[in-house]
Amino acid sequence: MKIFFSERHRSHFPPYEIFEGGKRLPYYENPDRRDRILAALRKTDWAKLHEPEDFRLDPILAVHDQDYIHFLASCWDEWLASDPEVSSTPEAYAFLPATFALRRNSRPASSIRGRGGYYIMDLSASIVAGTYQAALTSANIALSAAHSSFLLHHSSFALCRPPGHHAGKDYAAGYCFINNASVAANWLSQKGKTAILDVDYHAGNGTQDIFYERNDVLTVSIHGDPDFEYPHFIGFADETGAGAGLGFHRNFPLPKGADDAVYLAALDEALNTIRNFAPEYLVLSFGADIFDGDPLGTFRVTRNGFREIGARIAGLKLPTAIIMEGGYANEALGDNTITLLENFK
């Protein structure tokens, strides 16, 4: 199996994030996650490691708003130029807005702080000097996997960091800046019918946002019910698309404590939805935070659950670009990822 990765992810490592109640914590989405997975891959005899190609900006701008991408590219330098205190010790800081747009009739302001609150949805999308380059490389990793799956008609794995499925057309959220899976799926959709299956613990709000009014890409997400879980405002079962996209989106919100049996039952229904769509390609947003004991999840999926999830998805027998999303139980992250990937080799 071709595995795409890059060391450029290390340039994105914010010194902190802010949780509910204003608690400042070390950044959960850190380089150790990627290192654990890569170490596990290197122990196998089937993982073939490759650097990504550079697809330039066009495939990204086909999914994301141009002004938003410009904001990501210029944010850090503009902030440093506007604040002498930050510019004196930039390694101690991360850019986070203090005011957020409600997006009813709002528009981006000219100030960097105003645009930050317009283009960033929450306090976990921390930006530092290397964030944009890391996000750009992560998107190229996903595109390289999609390109490989198209050319070889085989499955591939994009070891993306930062992840992407919370990033919408024009906003960053939940550790995500460019929606890697959506960029890959949109590229594949020019080659044939494409479906996205998101098995991350949290609802793929950005992916839903991007494709919600489209009927050429089916989007399906299994996740913690947003009635109690992030992102809270999107991912409900009655959200099924709009306009031309009506009926081309499915959400499967699950309760706290969902175990292997509950998860696999939802997965079977999701896979039937995909079979009925009859795609030629699949993009799998894989989040290992469904694991029992993940610090940012409440599900109780076991290692055997990961094996069965992988086997059932691989049973679709589709060229699959597997895109890494979340997963924060770092000690188990490498083994959980390998357990799922082994079904596609």
Residues annotated as catalytic (active site), given as ranges: 166
Cβ(163)–Cβ(175) under 8 Å? yes
Question: Which parts of the chain are beta strand (E)?
Answer: 2-4, 17-18, 24-25, 48-50, 156-158, 194-198, 217-224, 249-254, 281-286, 320-324
Whole-angstrom Cα distance, residue 202 to residue 220? 13
Which residue in 154, 153, 152, 140 sits closest to 187, CA to CA?
140
Give CA–CA dist 167/260, Å, rounded: 28
8 A C-beta contact, residue 281 and residue 150: yes
What kind and span of H or E run contains 52?
A: none
The backbone torsions φ and ψ at residue 269, rounded to the nearest 5 degrees and listed phi first, read: -70, -40
Helix (H) or strand (E) holding 167, with range, is: none
